[in-house]
Amino acid sequence: MKPRFSRNVNMLAHYSYLRRFHHSHRRTFSSFFNNIRSNHFAARASSPGGGSGGGAGGGTGDSKGNAFLLPGATIATILMLGALHARRLYEDKKLEEKRERGIELEFHPDVKASFLGILPLRSISRAWGSLMSLEIPVWMRPYAYKAWARAFHSNLEEAALPLEEYASLRDFFVRSLKEGRRPIDPDPCCLVSPVDGTVLRFGELKGSRGMIEQVKGHSYSVPALLGNNSVLPMVPEGSNESEEESVGDKSDESWWTVSLASPKLRENISASPMKGLYYCVIYLRPGDCHRIHSPADWNALVRRHFAGRLFPVNERATRTIRNLYVENERVVLEGVWKQGFMALAAVGAANIGSIELFIEPELRTNKPKKKLFPTEPPEERVYDPEGHGLKLEKGKEVGVFNMGSTVVLVFQAPTANSPEGSNSSSNFRFCLKQGDRVRAGQALGRWKEE
């Protein structure tokens, strides 16, 4: 007769084995974190003022637990960034494969784009900004920043300060560079890139209302990007050539005055860009330096802040979200340079969405929204009512992005008085291709003085 308890004995033995396996791995996991904590507090004790603090309360368990909370939050942040980066790499690989096969991506809204429209992205971005501003323990900073650099292809050798001196991921993200790392093209007949990034679109503005192609199948209006009060040089369709040239031949100051006095000229729906009006769209990846520089010697006359949405501005977003740059929060600087009109639009993005201007430190973006309707006019500041504005030197820092973003340049440049399609050497020409990587200070285009 077979005993009935043999099966129970086997199950009990298996259960005991699982318990021993669980406890052994639990001890290993606990010892791993205890080692991290001991190393962390040993580093604090060895640092100036880290271990001494006077009084019996300096080494309480509560203070240790609170100090350990920050590294835990930082590790979670880095893991999240790593997961996002892995997904981005996968999507970029698929896109590159399509481009190699000659497939041009077209505009195609999807469910994700519609879902983003109902999310509180501004509040989420402020919360993410607070997380990125948490101070990282000194011993952990090099590891965190090197991980960021590997994930997003940043060059740490260009950083102006040692890694230990960047207190948070946000400070590291907006780091300045060593002197001379971004040489400015000295050619007086060139316009330089204001940022490090990838050239998405560029060309001359033509046709009704001055449209820029966001992606194949969808475009957005430059007047909508810069604002209804923009002095964008436009002329009504049907105007003869002599009238157009006479407007273009005016001096900078008189042209500015005429534009302010003639708002109907700017708001006319059938208006077209004047000859010699160009644009360039540059996308900043997370690994790029996010300092904004002046593209030329020019005078900034007015600043507009549009408190819009904070959609992502990556490649997928440009293919799925209508009027992306017009919908997003942005800061527009508008003024004049020796060739005429100049505007620089700094477009914010999801996660932080903060844009800072060194020429106006009191400006704050991504604040809790108080406006009822997004179509309300932007906050506007005229730097100099007399028309001289703030002088910005070519290559000098103007502002900084706190997270991935885009810059749109709109400017006038020399165009020869010659028939359409002429290759006169005095014409402005871009010296780059779509998809090129550019650095701040590198020439975007050149012309020759007649």
Report the catalytic residues.
Answer: 196, 293, 405
Cα-based torsion angle of the residue sequence 92, 95, 99, 101 in order, rounded to the nearest 10 degrees: 120
How many other C-beta atoms can be found within 10 angstroms of the C-beta atom of residue 242? 8
* Count of Cβ atoms closer than 10 Å to residue 249 Cβ: 8
Short-list 408, 407, 413, 409, CA closest to 274: 413
Nearest to 225 by CA among 407, 35, 7, 429: 407
Q: What six digits make up the tokens of 265?
A: 């000229």
The rounded distance, in Å, linking the Cα atoms of 301 and 370 is: 26
Residue with token string 């090197």: 146
Q: Give dist(CA 294, CA 292) in Å, integer.
A: 7
Tokens of 145: 């920043």
Contact, 411 vs 339, CB < 8 A? yes
Across-strand partners of 330? 306, 347
Q: What is the DSSP letter of 198?
A: E
Walk across the sheet containing 429-430 and list its strands.
190-192, 443-446, 429-430
Q: How far is CA 256 from the centre of its chain?
A: 30
Amino acid identity at 359: I
Torsion, CA 299, CA 300, CA 301, CA 303, rounded to 10: 180
Q: Which amino acid is at 202?
A: F
Are 341 and 412 spatial neighbours (Cβ–Cβ below 8 Å)?
A: yes
Residue 251 identity: S
β-bridge partners, 278:
204, 411
Distance CA 409, CA 202 (A): 9
Which residue shows structure tokens 């820029």? 212
Classified as helix, coil or strand, 445 is strand
